[in-house]
Amino acid sequence: MIKEKVVSKTKIIRVVTVALVILVIVSGGVGKLNYGGICSLGTWDILITCPLGFLERSLAARELLPQWPSAVLILFSVLLLGRVFCAWVCPSVLLRRVFGNKGELTKQNTKVKESIWASYSPYAVLGGVLIASFIFRFPVFCFFCPIGLFFGAFYAVMRLFSLDSPSLELVLFPTMLGLELWVLKSWCRSICPLGALLSIVGNLNPFFMPEVKKNKCLTAKGINCQACKRVCPEGIDLGNLDTGLSPNSCTKCLECSVRCPAKAIKFPLWS
C-alpha cells in the first residue's frame, strides 16, 4: 500500500512537470508573448533550440547555422543530466499517461529479443533522418516529430475557435500523433531519433545514473524479481545488465527505484 502511494506521487510530479511546460509554451502562443515553442524556446537573444532540429537544418542548408551555441548548450545540459528531457519535459509522457494502455509496457518488456532490437533501432532512424535531411534539403524529422505534432494540433484547434477557420492540420496532426504514440506503441524507445541523439550524448554523462546495490538486489540473490525491468520505459533490466541494454539510455523517470521491493536502486541526489 505504501509502495503504491509513493509510485503515484512520483508519477504525479512527473506529469505535473510536463503539464507545466506545456502550459508555459501554450500560454506564450495564446498570449502572443513570442517566446517560441518547444522546438525553439526563448526570448530576446537567448534561445534554446532542439539539437536534432538544428542538426537537420544545418545539414539541409549545408552550413553551420548561427544557432549552434544554443544547440551546444542543450547538449551540454544532456551531458550533465542525461535524457531527463524524455521523462520530465516531452509531452508524449503526458499523452501516454492520460490515454495509454497501462499493461503495454510490461508486455513489451517481457519480449527480450524485441527489447534489444528496440535499443538499437532509434540510432538507425537518427542516421536515416540526418542523411535524408542532407539529401532532400529540409529537416525531415521535424515533419513528423510528435512534439511538433502535439503543439501543431493545439494551435490548429485555437485557430478554429479564434478565426473560425478549420484547416487540414486539425485532422492530420492528431492522426499522425495517434499513429506514432498508440499504433506504433514503442515510439519513444524504438524509433524516436531525438531520444537517440540525447542517448549518444547522455552516454558520456557520469552523473545521476541508477546504481544497483548488489547486496540488496533480489535477482542477484537468485530470486526472479524483474520489478525494475517491468516498469522501465526503456526496457532496462537493472537487476541483470548482461541482457545487453545499457543504463545509459535511462531517462531518470525514477520508476525503477520506486518499484524496487528491496530498495536496491539508488539515484544520486534523489535516494
Which residues contribute to the site for ligand SF4 (CB under 6 A)?
A: 210, 212, 217-219, 225-228, 231-234, 236, 238-239, 247, 250-256, 260-262, 264-265
User: 88: which 3 cell numbers?
Assistant: 520530465
- Nine cell digits for residue 157: 484547434
Q: How far is CA 38 from CA 73, 76, 86, 205, 255, in A?
A: 15, 18, 13, 23, 25
Instruction: Please name which of 119, 116, 143, 110 lies closest in space to residue 129, comparing C-alpha atoms.
Output: 143
Shortest Å distance, C-beta 141 to ligand SF4: 22
Closest approach of ligand SF4 to the CB of residue 185, in Å = 17
CB of 133 or CB of 199, closer to ligand SF4: 199
Q: Tell me which residue has cell 520508476.
A: 255
Instruction: With CA atoms as reference, report the closest residue to 151 among 90, 211, 62.
Output: 90
Nearest 5 degrees, angle CA 83-CA 142-CA 133?
105
Closest contact distance (angstroms) between CB of 195 and ligand SF4 is 11
Q: How far is the CB of 161 from ligand SF4 (least distance, A)?
A: 38
47 versus 218: smaller Cβ distance to ligand SF4: 218
- Alpha helices, DSSP H, located in 39-192: 51-61, 68-81, 84-88, 92-99, 104-109, 112-136, 146-163, 169-178, 187-190
Closer to ligand SF4 by CB, 40 or 243: give it.
243
Complex with ligand SF4: residue 37 or 235, whichever CB lies closer: 235
Please, what is the minimum distance in Å from the beta carbon of residue 255 to ligand SF4? 4
The per-residue DSSP string of 81-106 comes to: H-SHHHHHT-THHHHHHHHS-TTHHH
Rank residues 182 and 267 by Cβ distance to ligand SF4 and give the closer one: 267
Residue whose CB is nearest to ligand SF4 in the complex, by number = 239
Q: Which is nearer to ligand SF4, 119 or 133 (CB)?
A: 119
Measured CA to CA, the distance from residue 231 to residue 217 in angstroms comes to 16
- Output the smallest distance, CB 149 to ligand SF4, in A: 23
C-alpha cell at position 54: 538544428
Minimum separation from the CB atom of position 50 to ligand SF4 (A): 21
Q: Which of 44, 48, 45, 46 is nearest to 21 (CA)?
A: 48
**CB nearer to ligand SF4: pick between 194 and 225:** 225
Q: Which is nearer to ligand SF4, 67 or 249 (CB)?
A: 249
Bridge partners (DSSP) of residue 37 are 40
Q: Least CB distance from residue 41 to ligand SF4, whole Å?
A: 24
The number of beta carbons lying within 10 Å of the beta carbon of residue 231 is 18
